[in-house]
Chains A and B, each alone.
Chain A
Amino acid sequence: DSGVTQTPKHLITATGQRVTLRCSPRSGDLSVYWYQQSLDQGLQFLIHYYNGEERAKGNILERFSAQQFPDLHSELNLSSLELGDSALYFCASSVGKWGAYEQFFGPGTRLTVL
């Protein structure tokens, strides 16, 4: 158990809908990262927050947004969902804001868009 929690574990929804994925980092970690894992794209970085502020953006679509709250939990919002958004979404946390620190991953949320 990495100490990172993600809810829900599974999510099934329809095209055009909006969903919110939630992540709670390990105690003491200030950084939260979001990654998407799909068969064709592999593991791709979406976005990084450190202590409530956005630090870096990766291949995140405009239909996707995220935020980190004062209690450090984070939410990833996915809207106008398409079939191709079906994937495993991971949240990871680390203690620092730089890439030097290992990231600990949550169990993931499996999103299925029908």
Chain B
Amino acid sequence: AQKVTQAQTEISVVEKEDVTLDCVYETRDTTYYLFWYKQPPSGELVFLIRRNSFDEQNEISGRYSWNFQKSTSSFNFTITASQVVDSAVYFCALSEASNQAGTALIFGKGTTLSVSS
């Protein structure tokens, strides 16, 4: 069965520090998709990135970067030079392509990131 584990429940950093949020997933499918979402204190879920299982290239978007490693079933998220506005709960999620039930997102429990000034 598919599963997403975010072992870090809470992380606290000071502004300008780099921080990495870990995500480990389990799936039997060869084709799957990985996502990161941000949930700021206001409560909405904001889409950050989608990664396909057949594309292991790392991605950088501004201060955000993602490291996808199939060998360790990990899809980690790094924020460089963190800012107070990065304070939020971050969710890693997985969906599978092989069957109808796989259309849903399976979420990890989330990592609460607190950035202080």
Contact = CB atoms under 8 A, between A and B. Distances in A.
Contacts of A106: 44
Interface stretch (A11-19, A63-71, A74-82, A96-104): A96-104
Contact of A42 (B52, B97, B101, B109): B109
Contact of A90 (B45, B50, B103, B108): B45
B44 A104 contact: no
Interface in B58-117: 91, 95-97, 100-110
B110 A105 contact: no
A2 B43 CA distance: 13
Interface in A5-28: none
Contacts of B52: 100
Contacts of B50: 102
Given A100-B95, A108-B43, A42 B110 contact: yes
Given A42-B110, A99-B33, A100-B97, A105 B103 contact: no
Interface residues of A, number: 27
Contact of B100 (A55, A88, A92, A104): A55
Interface in A37-83: 42-45, 48, 55-56, 58
Given A42-B109, A42-B110, A43-B91, A99 B104 contact: yes
Contacts of B96: 99
Interface of A: 2, 31, 33, 35, 42-45, 48, 55-56, 58, 88, 90, 92, 97-100, 102-108, 110
Given A99-B96, A102-B35, 17 more contacts: A2-B46, A31-B103, A35-B105, A42-B109, A43-B91, A45-B105, A45-B106, A48-B103, A48-B104, A55-B100, A98-B97, A98-B102, A99-B95, A99-B104, A100-B95, A105-B47, A110-B43
